[in-house]
Structure 1
Amino acid sequence: MKIDAHQHFWQPARGDYDWMPKDDATLSRPYVPTDLAPQLATAGISRSILVQAAATVNETEYMLGLADATETVGAVVGWVDFEASDVAETLARLGKHPKFSGVRPMIQDIPDDDWMLRDDVQNGFRAVCDLGLTFDALGFPRHLANFLTILTRYGDMRCVLDHCMKPDIAGHSPDSFQHWADGMSAIARETGAYCKFSGLVTEASDNWTVDDLRPYAFHIFETFGPDRVMWGSDWPVVRLRAEYDRWLEAAEILTDALTADEKVCVFGGTAAEFYQIDAS
């Protein structure tokens, strides 16, 4: 089974996509399952992981409704308010849906870089662990040290780092690369976290090449290993830099050195194991 471990659907008219530019020709339009279906079919991908794009519980409910009507959606990663007193009850309710896998706080958009360390959000992390849910870590390299703290504190939390933690590929200064590489190595070495092989092209320049991405991909595979790495399209955000097929082709080139079994992990097996998707 080939799995796209990270994609989105959205309807801007719902009004809760606060991060979305109002007049962006690529982003500020609806994206629904029928828009993605041709790309999945062409690539031979039978399941995808639908990930939240708005910081509301309404977004989670919206995605679960789409998942009910869309066979290719294998799991849903939603959003809940970690600061709410009833966060555990909300997660328990959502967890009754067969396709609800876990949550993703939009940490990259929170002004306080230390938000995840605050006392008033720890009940959210504890509930994710207690309920056996997944946690998608969305942030930038500046968040790596805090994510290491959280992942060490909650050692049984099933966590995946989204988009390789968004390294500055466009700038690609030696200092920024080393900071990112050291932080990713520490998490790979000291925790059981996984990593999504996604989002790299949108952190690169408009005229990116496969060689621009190669040092970052190499580091991810070297440190996490293919059994803890899963490929994702990040569609439709990826369309800011490339269409679905071009990013998939680049990812296949970047995994040329892997064995056949390792490629099976990256392009489906790892995601199936992490999100507990039945391969049959």
Structure 2
Amino acid sequence: MTIDAHQHFWRIARGDYFWMDDSVAAIAHDHLPEDLLERAAACGVTKTVVVQAAPSLAETRFLLELAEQSPLIGAVVGWLDLTKDVPAQLSRITHPALRGIRPMLQDLEPTDWILRPDVLEGLRQVARAELRFDALVTPRHLDVIDRLADEIPELPIVIDHCAKPVFQDADPGDAWRTGIERLAAHPQIYCKLSGLANEFGPGWSAASLQPVFDHVLGCFGADRVMWGSDWPVLDLAGDYQDWFKAAQDMARDLDDDARAALFGGTAEKFYAIGA
């Protein structure tokens, strides 16, 4: 089973996609399961993990409704307010497809917001509910996610987009490398091979992203790394099939078991897809 471990759907009329400005005008229109079917089929993708794109319970309910309608969706990563009554919020979005939550940490000014006592208690409730935590972070958050893993070792964490490395002359930097190594030392932390085309920008290629791939795979191993498209955000930098092919090219030296894990098995295990 080939799984896209990170993609989005949205319906613009819902009105809570605060981040959609002129810089993303090319994708600021509805993207729904029927729009992904042909792209996914061309790459052999049979299941996806759809991830929230707005910080609201309404967004989570919207995605769960889509999961009821589309067999393509294997899991939903939603949103809730970690500073409020988490069990009460979870009671409003309880659903077999809900497998994780994601606060939009990259958009919050305080880097250490996730370590606030009330937020930590909220995440403990998430762990008790047997949900996972998607970490939408940048390199400035690597230290706090390291500390979070120490605080709540029972919480499964996955790092979105390889923590969005900042490329300088095609190099992601030593600080990023060191931070990734520290996160990989925690057995409950996984990593998504996604979003890199957008982070690199124009001129990206499998060759230009190979150093990031090699470092992430070397630190985590294929059994803790999962491929994702980040579609339709990906459309700002490339297209679905090109990114899938680039990831396959970067993984060309992996054995069959490792490739199967990277392109499906890891996501299936982490998100309990099909359980």
The reply on whether 1:194 has 2:193 as its aligned counterpart is no
Deviations 1:253-278 (A, max 9, x none): 00001001100000000000000012
Task: Tell me, yes or no, if the aligned pair for 1:151 and 1:191 is still in contact at 8 Å.
Answer: no
Partners of 1:121 and 1:190 lie apart in 2 by 20
SS at match of 1:190: coil
Partners of 1:164 and 1:265 lie apart in 2 by 17
**Aligned with residue 242 of structure 2, among 236, 246, 250:** 246
Two-structure CA RMSD over aligned residues (Å): 1.4
Output the TM-score relative to the length of structure 2: 0.96
Matches within 5 A, 1:137-176: 137-169=135-167, 171-172=168-169
Partners of 1:23 and 1:218 lie apart in 2 by 31
Match for residue 65 of structure 1?
65
Match for residue 6 of structure 1?
6
Residue 26 (structure 1) shift: 1.9
SS at match of 2:4: strand
Deviations 1:123-170 (A, max 9, x none): 21111111110110111001000000001111011111000000012x
Output the TM-score relative to the length of structure 1: 0.95
Specify every segment of 5 or more residues in structure 1 that has no aligned partner in the other structure, as ranges.
Answer: none
Amino acid at match of 1:147: I
Partners of 1:119 and 1:63 lie apart in 2 by 29
Task: Tell me, yes or no, if the aligned pair for 1:88 and 1:123 is still in contact at 8 Å.
Answer: no
Task: Tell me, yes or no, if the aligned pair for 1:4 and 1:232 is still in contact at 8 Å.
Answer: yes
Partners of 2:170 and 2:36 lie apart in 1 by 35
Q: Which stretches of structure 1, 4 residues or more, deviate above 4 A after TM superposition?
A: none
Amino acid at match of 2:178: D
Deviations 1:164-201 (A, max 9, x none): 000012x2476x51000100000101342000011111
Residue 44 (structure 1) shift: 1.0
The percent identity for this pair of structures is 43
SS at match of 2:25: coil
SS at match of 1:146: helix
**Aligned with residue 181 of structure 1, among 168, 177, 194:** 177
Match for residue 108 of structure 1?
106
Specify every segment of 5 or more residues in structure 2 that has no aligned partner in the other structure, as ranges.
Answer: none
Task: Tell me, yes or no, if the aligned pair for 2:86 and 2:126 is still in contact at 8 Å.
Answer: no
The reply on whether 1:264 has 2:268 as its aligned counterpart is no
Amino acid at match of 1:155: P
Deviations 1:197-244 (A, max 9, x none): 111111002121222101100000000000000000000001111100
**Aligned with residue 233 of structure 1, among 229, 236, 259:** 229
Match for residue 53 of structure 1?
53
**Aligned with residue 119 of structure 2, among 118, 121, 129:** 121
Q: Which one is further off, 26-35 or 227-236? A: 26-35
